[in-house]
């Protein structure tokens, strides 16, 4: 207060404006910053300090939320993403000037998957359409229709160009992608088919539904070998599925927070993994040990010892765990979360060894590049971001 105070002071006799001069100052008060009331950031017109962005590449070709990402299994830079703008894109890691649009869907692109040999990409949309793309040229190879509801997921046969898709209309469809030909339709579920896949040996199909059942099918005959339902299985819709590398076990998660292991040959529930307290969002067998990992909206990643059906490690997050993947056959796994963070975890110690910032909204899907050097994540913030993970091998 070294300068005179220029605000007018009115005395009781209202003699007009009276100003204080230096001699009227009794003592000066030093105002601590902590005494000043906070001003709303919006009123000040300034944004809060932005979080660091750890990504090495951002793909911004989409104009709406992103739902799905797939990295080519054979081409270390090729990525496909899809989202709520009814589009997909092929693009390349660290080649910001190149992209090829995946057109033709009339609703959100909900699922993408590369064939095992990397030659083809399947795109599934909420419009009920599955489209097959040549990954070399980026051209549309064929469009596959049939389902009357949106496509929930697409998967490829492990050793051929046969594609499988689950629909909201409670059916599962199978086509030959080289010929664009219908092969089979699997009906029996009572609600949307939320998850599904071929077994790694290609001889069986497992599908799960909002009807709280798992069904096991013969792909050639279309026969339904087993239906798994009721006690001790899930009480609410299935949300995620992983199948063991020897094609004998399916591990499923549900909205009810439960995780169950099923013998694919017998159709029997062989164990239950009990610990989560909210919907299971993601699940995967470990590639090189008798473990599995589950992520839940209860903000936990749990790494399970399957031989004892017990948690090895419980890894806490700030918000729900939406997606996860093992990093090749390494000890590391990666989670995407509703808090917009990507985290790398050491499965042996259960420690978080790296947190990647950059996204400003929920992460919906993650995928690892063919050479394991990069992780690509997509978010409701409308961006795909690339993070370098080469050190975690």
The structure tokens 């590449």 sit at 57
pLDDT at 41 over 90: no
User: For the segment 318-354, what is each residue's pLDDT rounded down to a tens digit?
Assistant: 999 999 999 999 999 999 999 999 999 999 999 999 9
Higher pLDDT, 10 or 307: 307
pLDDT for residue 5: 39
Confidence bin at 202 (pLDDT 50/70/90): very high
The whole-angstrom separation of Cα 45 and Cα 38 is 14
Q: pTM of the prediction?
A: 0.87
pLDDT for residue 184: 97
DSSP 147-214: -SS-EEEEEE-TTSSEEEEEETTSEEEEEETTTTEEEEEEE--SS-EEEEEE-TTSS-EEEEETTS-E
The whole-angstrom separation of Cα 3 and Cα 80 is 64
14 backbone dihedrals φ, ψ, rounded to 5°: 50, 65
pLDDT at 138 over 60: yes
Q: Which residues pair with 295 in a beta bridge?
A: 282, 301
224-226-231 Cα angle (round to 5): 140
Dihedral-angle region of residue 152 (phi above 0 means left; psi in -120 to 50 means alpha; beta otherwise): alpha
pLDDT for residue 289: 87
Spell 159-197 as b/e; 16+ CB within 10 A means b: eebbbbbbbbbbbbbbbbbeeeeeebebebbeebbbbbb
Percent above pLDDT 70 for the chain: 88
pLDDT at 50 over 90: no
pLDDT for residue 49: 75
Confidence bin at 25 (pLDDT 50/70/90): low
The whole-angstrom separation of Cα 150 and Cα 58 is 29
Confidence bin at 23 (pLDDT 50/70/90): low
User: For the segment 168-189, what is each residue's pLDDT rounded down to a tens digit?
Assistant: 999 999 999 999 999 999 999 9
Mean pLDDT (whole number) for 385-391: 98
User: For the segment 70-105, what is each residue's pLDDT rounded down to a tens digit?
Assistant: 999 999 999 999 999 999 999 999 998 889 999 999
């Amino acid at each position: 207060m070294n300068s005179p105070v220029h605000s007018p002071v009115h005395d009781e006799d209202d003699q007009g404006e009276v100003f204080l001069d230096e001699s009227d100052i009794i003592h000066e008060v030093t105002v601590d910053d902590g005494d000043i009331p906070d001003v709303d950031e919006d009123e000040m017109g300034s944004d809060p300090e932005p979080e660091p962005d750890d990504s090495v590449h951002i793909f911004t070709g989409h104009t709406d939320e992103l739902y799905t990402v797939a990295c080519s299994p054979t081409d270390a830079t090729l990525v496909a993403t899809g989202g709520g703008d009814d589009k997909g894109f092929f693009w390349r890691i660290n080649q910001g000037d190149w992209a090829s649009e995946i057109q033709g869907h009339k609703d959100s692109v909900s699922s993408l998957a590369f064939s095992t040999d990397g030659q083809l990409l399947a795109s599934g949309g909420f419009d009920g359409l599955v489209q097959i793309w040549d990954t070399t040229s980026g051209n549309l190879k064929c469009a596959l229709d049939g389902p009357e509801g949106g496509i929930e997921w697409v998967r490829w046969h492990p050793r051929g160009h046969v594609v499988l898709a689950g629909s909201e209309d409670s059916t599962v469809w199978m086509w030959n992608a080289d010929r664009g030909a219908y092969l089979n339709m699997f009906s029996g579920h009572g609600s949307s088919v939320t998850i599904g896949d071929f077994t790694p040996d290609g001889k069986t199909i497992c599908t799960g539904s909002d009807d709280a059942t798992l069904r096991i099918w013969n792909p050639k005959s279309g026969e339904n070998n087993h239906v798994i339902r009721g006690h001790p299985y899930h009480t609410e819709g299935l949300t995620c599925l992983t199948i063991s590398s020897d094609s004998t076990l399916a591990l499923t998660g549900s909205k009810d927070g439960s995780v169950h292991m099923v013998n694919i040959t017998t159709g029997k529930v062989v164990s239950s993994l009990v610990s989560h307290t909210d919907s299971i969002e993601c699940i995967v067998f470990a590639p090189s040990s008798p473990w599995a990992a589950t992520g839940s909206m209860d903000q936990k990643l749990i790494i399970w010892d399957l031989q004892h059906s017990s948690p090895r490690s419980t890894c806490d997050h700030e918000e729900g765990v939406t997606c996860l993947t093992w990093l090749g056959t390494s000890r590391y796994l990666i989670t995407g979360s509703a808090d917009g963070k990507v985290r790398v975890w050491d499965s042996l110690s259960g420690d978080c060894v790296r947190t990647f910032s950059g996204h400003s909204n929920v992460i919906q899907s993650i995928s690892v590049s063919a050479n394991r050097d990069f992780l690509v994540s997509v978010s409701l913030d409308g961006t795909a971001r690339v993070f370098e993970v080469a050190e975690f091998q």
